[in-house]
Amino acid sequence: MNLAMSIDEVAEFLDREFPQAGAAGLGFRLDTLEAGRLTLSLAAEERHLRPGGTVSGPSLFALADVAAYLCILAHLGPLLHVVTTNMSINFLQKPPPGLLRAEASLLKLGRRLAVVEVSIRGAGDDLPSAHAVGTYAIPPETTE
């Protein structure tokens, strides 16, 4: 799988097209990008927590979804109309506040669909806090 965008281009795309998700919004930061893989991080703080002091499910889901989306775009180019059609997430252990990393791996990049697996870990955790698999629709006009 070849990359269509550099890590800087993906980060600029995120900031330009989805400012609500970047550093000024939800706080996502692009860490690494290589063929078939992308790492996105979140410094989970008070606004990301649920009662009891754990990171909320919606915050973890958003981290997985954005990581998967950016991984696809890094391989296709800056397409706005790639959309999530399905995502399944398993919450495996309680993540504490602090740095979380989502490692997205492209499983399939077809003409109409892409499938991405995402594992989310807290800093220093060997086992994931959450595991997600997402399917994304690729609009026909982007592949013709």
Name residues whose C-beta falls within 8 Å of residue 141's C-beta, 6 or more positions apart in sequence.
Answer: none
The rounded average pLDDT for each run of 10 residues, N- to C-terminus, in the chain (144 residues) is: 95 90 81 98 88 90 97 93 96 90 97 97 92 95 54
Distance CA 144, CA 139 (A): 10
Residue-level pLDDT at 140: 84
Output the CA torsion sign for 58, 62, 63, 68: positive
Residue-level pLDDT at 24: 67
Q: Is 33 left (phi over 0), alpha (psi -120 to 50) or beta?
A: beta
Which of the following CATH numbers is that of domain 7-142: 3.30.70.1230, 3.30.70.141, 3.40.309.10, 3.10.129.10? 3.10.129.10
Residue-level pLDDT at 96: 80
Residue 106 · residue 130 · CB < 8 Å: no
Residue 95 · residue 55 · CB < 8 Å: yes
Residue 111 · residue 138 · CB < 8 Å: yes
CA nearest neighbour of 77 among 142, 16, 5, 139: 5
Q: Is 4 left (phi over 0), alpha (psi -120 to 50) or beta?
A: alpha
Residue-level pLDDT at 72: 97
